[in-house]
Amino acid sequence: MGESTSASATSGTRTTAQTVVLGPEDAGQRLDKVLARLLPTMPRSHLFRLLRKGEVRLNGKRVSGEARVADGDSLRIPPHHVAPVEVAVAARPVPQRLRELVEAAVILEDDRLLVLDKPSGVAVHGGSGQSFGVIEALRASRPKETLELVHRLDRDTSGCLLVARKRSTLRSLHAMLREDAFDKRYLTLLRGKWELGAKRIDAPLDTEGRVGGERTVRVDPMGKPSASEFRVVQFFGNLATLVEVQLLTGRTHQIRVHARYAGHPVAGDDKYGDEAFNAQMRELGLGRLFLHAHNISYMDPDRHVDVSASAPLPADLKEFLGRLEEASASGRLRPRGGARLDSPVRARGQEPPRPVPRRKVAKKRPGAASGKKKPALGRRGAAMAAAKRAKRVAPVGKSAGRASRTVRRPSGNR
């Protein structure tokens, strides 16, 4: 990889333009990922802004962040402002405590891959108010390695996280992720008693929405296809249910949104959950989102062997489940909060029952015969009917060359 011009990021003002020739290690990567690597101190929101404005050019053309780069591509990075705070963050070392915490979380390691049991509360990368995350800590403790995140977990979600140690491995695993070829399973605690059995939730998700500048995912018929399979692990009376969720697609916040869609939000979820239920769980000792990536499996595309990694429930969640079991033993404790959150998912089908269409009734023609007897008329009604009949004049024949007509007189009341 070479550069025709260089830019100094230490001035704290504005850089000059860069033209970068991408090498084979970048081939197949998304452009936004390449930019994030080349500009590690720039907030992601700024990167996306440069892409939206068309200031980033790939081979002289405007492209989106989802474009894939190739070996030998020419990438122009426009001049951009580097704030002094960014320089300070770049110069500040990753805290030793975070580096030790992340290194201790490694549960599987070979020459191509790291698997971590990510602690809850630690972001996978810096940004959104976090100076450092898992990937920054690993790069600081392993400076000679090329490390890249294979996928992401939410900051408050714990469990299995993959980090590639080679660009070739990253490309292969990203291709598998695009094909949903991973088997990813989570353990989560849901509000109330799950009575849907083994349930597949197929509900498309709109992952691009923003509320107050913060990403908020919602079910939308025009969203991306999304599917999750829920299976009961343990009931806690009517209070809560521990379930295993298998992700069949990998959308942002998918489990949390699908759980709410089913009427059983995740315990401790401040974004999509039930506030009253969350408060009830806090009283019992839950201090975090109850969502844990406990297993990830896939077929290694290069070595053609099965790879599987598991992370048991963290100690704090195990202890909480013990307290929850004692609290729900009587069966009288009910979950607080709204009943099923107006969920459209039902026990005998995911979608709500469709309304029965009304039958169209043809309008009867005047004078058409009816199979039903007409109701009896009262005295006043009979008189009105007789008056109408009296107005009708019917021809009866001809006599002496002229038409003769007779007037029918009513036979009823006069």
pLDDT digit string, tens, across residues 129-181: 677 899 999 999 998 898 989 999 999 999 999 999 988 888 888 888 888 88
Residue 222 has pLDDT above 80, yes or no: yes
Find out whether 146 and 169 touch, Cβ atoms under 8 Å.
no
Q: Respond yes or no: is residue 206 known to be catalytic.
A: no
Give the pLDDT confidence score for residue 30 in this predicted structure.
83
Taking the model in full, what pTM does it have?
0.68
> Which has more confidence, 8 or 392?
392
Which structural domains are found in the chain, ordered by start? 15-47+67-92 (3.10.290), 93-179 (3.30.2350.10), 181-346 (3.30.2350.10)
The rounded distance, in Å, linking the Cα atoms of 375 and 366 is 17
Q: Please pick, among 73, 154, 269, 274, the residue that the annotation labels catalytic.
A: 154
Give the pLDDT confidence score for residue 81 in this predicted structure.
67
**Residue 200: strand pairing partners:** 229
Other beta carbons within 10 angstroms of residue 363's beta carbon come to 7
Other beta carbons within 10 angstroms of residue 388's beta carbon come to 9
pLDDT digit string, tens, across residues 94-116: 899 999 999 999 999 999 999 99
Please spell the DSSP secondary structure of 185-244, one letter per residue: EEEEEEES---S-SEEEE--EE---EETTEE--EE-TTSB--EEEEEEEEEETTTEEEEE
